[in-house]
Structure 1
Amino acid sequence: MTRSISSLLILCAFLAVLLPGTALARLNIEITGGVEAAQPIAVVPFGFAGGGSASVDPGAVIAADLARTGRFAPMPTRDMLDQPTSHEEVDLRDWRLLDMNNLVIGQVVREGARYRISFILYDVFRGERLAGATLTATAAGLRNAAHRIADQIHETLTGIPGVAATRIAYISATGRGENARVTLQVADADGYNPQVIVSSTEPIMSPAWSPDGRRIAYVSFESRRPAIYVQELASGRRERVASYPGINSSPAFSPDGRRLAMTLSKDGNPEIYVLDLDSRALTRLTDHFAIDTEPAWSPDGSHLVFTSGRGGNPQIYRVPASGGAVSRVSFEGDYNASPVYAPDGRSIAMARRINGAFRIALLDVERGFSRLLSRGPLDESPSFAPNSSMVIYATTHGGRAVLAAAAVDGGANQRLTQGTDQVREPAWSPMVQ
């Protein structure tokens, strides 16, 4: 069963059985696994000056961001011998005694309606300052400033850009009967600040980010038939870009943001098309009697991968972006669907069926071998973090639809829930400024 079809059936089932809805809740993230050799780091609560108080302690946000990666083990504040907030107060000998590899200190200074946030990152054993910066933010932007500091720390210590300042789009369903409601929401990567992008009593599915992070494409059944919309996040302005007879599904932005791949059945069979968003020229890429669906672009925009049943069972195929010969990509397993490229182009994540269970698999593009990333039994809709280090996907836990994330190196695992709501179809944003 392909994502576009299975998602519709799942959402329709949700509308029939969900519990009464609750107020919009943030995504709660539970860390369910981390690397055995996580780096010990101390993130001291940030000092505050300037009158009043800050609603957010950047230090706590940074520590949580680093912990979620699974690569770091932040020290509990109760175990700290001291809590310095300036360079002059730091005695690295204390932190060596505690076997900390790194130390982070910082301050928040209120200046009218804005805040100045500064931090310093130390290598404890070498006695060196590794990084430091000063950011400014409004009260509402304090969490985001902390996320950006966490990302800088992550990149300094690992060489890999952090993703704490990114966002996640997902479908949330709640209520039943006349109170049934489906929403497309966007939240910060740590689950805070959820925002409803669109709400409907009809199914919504397949959210997809534009490469600049300013727009989201999705499928809505609000007119009782599927149509593809593109919506600006800042203004809320949206445009219906595909509403052909039959299936309109699985939108995917090209890496340059100028084209949108999609699945259409307007000519009688589900095929892969590409729409030029400026000229509105529509190009058909596949032509086969089997179902072709779920297109995803390669990072360089040269080709797309997609799900097709042309070999009998769903498998992953590729086609040049300009059209041409189709070639098979997946060969392990009798069912592979929902492909998505890692931003670095090195791997493709997909949903694979094994002994009746659906699990997320990673295919090494260059070497051609694959490995399993998740445990199942109902894992689907994979989406890569923009630094290619993690995959977020939809799954179930305790009979409820939830999200989960796993590091591609197998070192970190998370579970994301939202109150009593059912959450599906995650899409991780690109790096945003």
Structure 2
Amino acid sequence: MTQRRDFLAATAASAALAGAGNASAQLKIDVTGVGARQIPVAIAAFSNEPALAAQNLPAITDVVRADLVRCGLFRIVDGGNAALDENSQINYADWKSRGADALAVGSVTRLADGRYDVRFRLHDVARQQSVVGSSFTPGSSQIRLAAHKIADQIYEKLTGDRGIFATRIAYVLKRGTQYQLQVADSDGENALPALTSGEPIISPAWNPDGTQLAYVSFERRKPIVYAHSLPTGQRRVVAEFRGSNSAPAWSPDGRTIAVTLTLNSTSQIYLLSATGGGAPRRITSSSAIDTEAVFSPDGGYIYFTSDRSGGPQIYRMPVGGGDAQRLTFKGDYHTSPRLSGDGKQLSYVARREGRFRVAVMDLATSDELLLTEGPMDESPSFAPNGRYLLYATTAGGRDALGMVSTDGRIRSRLTVASGDVREPTWGPFMN
């Protein structure tokens, strides 16, 4: 799968140079683990919601409930069939007797211009008071997004962490000989292809504002790095040098892309302008394979995979140059470094007893936690709030995606009805 392929591809490219001188699909999510404590929340049916069904649009209450269940931190209390809007008088004693700590209510009204007026309010049942409320005016294509934003507000108010339901994910779907780079909502819905090719697509990476994806495409029978604008569909070549061009990663300001090139026989890390063109600037210099760079949130460091110690391990070094510091020591194989948004956690793939597992390290203490069981788990990608990881795994003999919380308690699996999904990357918060 991806990271072993990336590292082995870099190995093969270096050796070769030395010797030579389909249609979109929705993801199905199965939750297999939950948090140690789940907050009981009731989501009452929104007033006037049948107006959405009449237009074949999703029910907001269904989307919100599904979001909260999927994250593993909430238990949905039966709200009955009675609709409650944001102005309804709440019988707090009744909701307390049902076991709810919080209650969400709201309404949806179709406007004359075809948009919808969506309003919601969250109540603290124990304190018997409203704690947050908001309104949105989405078009019909944005109803799900409005529901995700409501779920985000509920999540943040009840956990203290920013919600990630209104974010997007990208991944590669393979069916037969066809590859698609797909972009979907965080729950796998609204999946749309950004690129379709008869050749492999690997290593997608989001830019900081979520409007572009960099990736490696083999459509011209060699690995070339592209940057792809999602709003316009236009793309540009970032790296098309002799040899291999791979493993793109954006700088935090979105102006630079780190790539792995084989310009000098071995795979080394270079910096390029994100607009394309210009000479690459080499930032690693070793006789080993250096690849899979990612930037620290402040842009001052890169984390990367190198076999300079004999086997692949994770290192850190200043972007401006300097000594590389080895970070992983508990095994003989660590690849695919990824950093949480706050820069406090490092995720990677660790090989333990022949099994490839996703791990997370607290960078302040170097404490490691193995989050998955393997045997073929790869491509970890942090949610923008740092509380979850998306990764590539296998299910029923096919490639699938998994999600796990950074404490290892909450787990889910994402599959499609037909085809293999791989190469996941979780997008940033959207403004």
What TM bracket, shorter-length normalisation? over 0.9
Counterpart for residue 115 of structure 1: 116
Q: Deviations over 1:172-223 (max 9, x none)?
A: 1001xxxx10111000001100010111111110000000100000000000
1:72 partner amino acid: F
Which one-letter code corresponds to 1:63 in the other structure? R
Change (3 A) 1:51 1:393: closer
SS at match of 1:87: coil
1:227/1:365 CA distance change after superposition, 3 Å = same
| Unaligned stretches of 5+ residues in structure 2 | 10-21
| C-alpha separation in 2, matches of 1:263 and 1:221 | 15
Does residue 343 of structure 1 match 2:345? no
Q: Do the aligned residues in 1 keep the contact of 2:32 with 2:411 (CA within 8 Å)? A: yes
- Verify: 1:132 aligned to 2:141, yes or no: no
Report the equivalent of 2:74. Answer: 72
Q: Deviations over 1:370-390 (max 9, x none)?
A: 110111111011000000000
| CA deviations over 1:364-408 (Å, ceiling 9, x no partner) | 111112110111111011000000000000000111100001011
- What's 1:211 paired with? 208
Displacement of 1:76 after TM fit?
3.9
**Structure 2 residue 257 is the aligned partner of structure 1 residue 255:** no
C-alpha displacement at 1:81, in angstroms? 7.6
1:50, 1:111 within 8 Å by CA — same for their partners in 2? Answer: no
> Contact conserved, 2:77 with 2:98, CA < 8 A, in 1?
no
| Counterpart code for 1:124 | V
1:14 counterpart residue number = none
Cα distance change on mapping 1:118 and 1:7 into 2, 3 Å: farther
Measure the CA separation in 1 of the matches of 2:368 and 2:144: 38
Aligned residue for 1:167? 168
Shift of 1:244: 0.8
Contact persistence 1:4–1:206 (CA under 8 A): no
Inter-partner Cα distance in structure 2 for 1:8 and 1:306: 15
What residue in structure 1 maps to residue 280 of structure 2?
282
1: CA distance, partners of 2:136 / 2:2: 45
Cα deviation for residue 49 of structure 1 reads 7.2
The reply to whether residue 297 of structure 1 matches residue 295 of structure 2 is yes
SS at match of 1:368: coil
Amino acid at match of 1:246: G
User: Are 1:358 and 2:356 matched, yes or no?
Assistant: yes
User: Residues 50 and 39 from structure 1, CA distance in 2 versus in 1: closer, same or farther, beyond 3 angstroms?
Assistant: closer
Deviation at 1:7? 8.4
Quote the Cα distance in structure 1 between the aligned partners of 2:237 and 2:7.
20
Partner of 1:15: none
Question: More deviation in 54-63 or 204-213?
Answer: 54-63
1:382 partner SS: strand
5+ unaligned residues in a row in structure 1: which ranges? Answer: 10-21
Counterparts in 2 of 1:358 and 1:162: CA distance versus 1, 3 Å: same
Alpha-carbon distance, 1:249 to partner? 0.4
Relative to structure 1, is the Cα distance of residues 51 and 286 closer, same or farther in structure 2, using a 3 angstrom cutoff? closer
Deviates more, 1:253-262 or 1:62-71: 62-71
Moved more, 256-265 or 279-288: 279-288
- Contact 1:27–1:418 (8 Å) recurs in 2: yes
* 2:380 equivalent in structure 1: 382
Question: How far apart, in 2, do the equivalents of 1:421 and 1:51 lie?
Answer: 35
Q: Which amino acid aligns with 1:99?
A: G
Aligned-partner Cα distance in 2 for 1:58–1:49: 8
Change in Cα spacing, 1:335 to 1:7, as seen in structure 2 (3 Å) is: closer
Q: 1:25: Cα distance to partner?
A: 1.5
Amino acid at match of 1:130: V
**Whole-Å separation in 1 of the counterparts to 2:282 and 2:305:** 15
SS of aligned partner of 1:137: coil
Separation in structure 1 between the aligned mates of residue 416 and residue 230 of structure 2, nearest angstrom: 21
1:4–1:250: 8 Å Cα contact kept in structure 2? no
Deviation larger for 51-60 or 259-268: 51-60
Partner of 1:270: 267
Distance 1:48 1:242, change over 3 A: same
CA distances 1:242-278 after superposition (whole Å, capped 9, x unpaired): 0111110000000000000010002211001111235
User: What is the 5 A alignment of 1:16-415?
Assistant: 23-48=23-48, 53=54, 55-77=57-79, 80=80, 82-112=82-112, 113-175=114-176, 180-278=177-275, 280-415=278-413
Root mean square deviation, CA, Å: 1.8
Deviates more, 1:191-200 or 1:322-331: 322-331
Q: Distance in 2 between matches of 1:51 and 1:409?
A: 41
User: 1:7–1:404: structure 2 CA closer, same or farther, 3 Å change rule?
Assistant: farther
- Cα displacement (A) at 1:93: 1.6
Deviates more, 1:292-301 or 1:324-333: 324-333
- Contact in 2 for aligned 1:2/1:337 (Cα 8 Å): no
Deviation, structure 1 residue 4: 6.6
Q: How far apart in 2 are the matches of 1:51 and 1:98?
A: 28
- Deviations, residues 56-78 of structure 1 (Å, cap 9, x unaligned): 2111111111111111111245x
Q: Percent identity?
A: 42
Offset of 1:115 from its aligned partner? 0.1
What code does the residue aligned with 2:124 have?
A: D
Judging changes above 3 Å, is the alpha-carbon distance between structure 1 residues 232 and 23 closer, same or farther for their aligned structure 2 residues? closer
Shift of 1:86: 4.2
Q: 1:4 to 1:410 in 2, by over 3 A?
A: closer
Quickly say closer, same or farther: Cα 1:269–1:105, change in 2 above 3 A.
same
The CA deviation at 1:24 is: 2.3
**Residues 429/49 of structure 1: CA separation in 2 closer, same or farther (3 Å cut):** closer
Are residues 385 and 2 of structure 1, via their aligned partners in 2, closer, same or farther at CA, if it must alter by over 3 Å? closer
Please identify runs of 4+ aligned residues in structure 1 that moved more than 2 A: 4-9, 49-54, 80-90, 276-281
Kindly provide the CA deviation profile for residues 222-250 of structure 1, in whole angstroms up to 9, marking residues without a partner as x: 00000000010000010011011111000
**CA shift for structure 1 position 92:** 1.5
CA contact (8 A) 2:45 2:82 kept: no
Give the Å deviation of 1:82: 4.5
Which stretch has the larger CA shift, 317-326 or 208-217?
A: 317-326
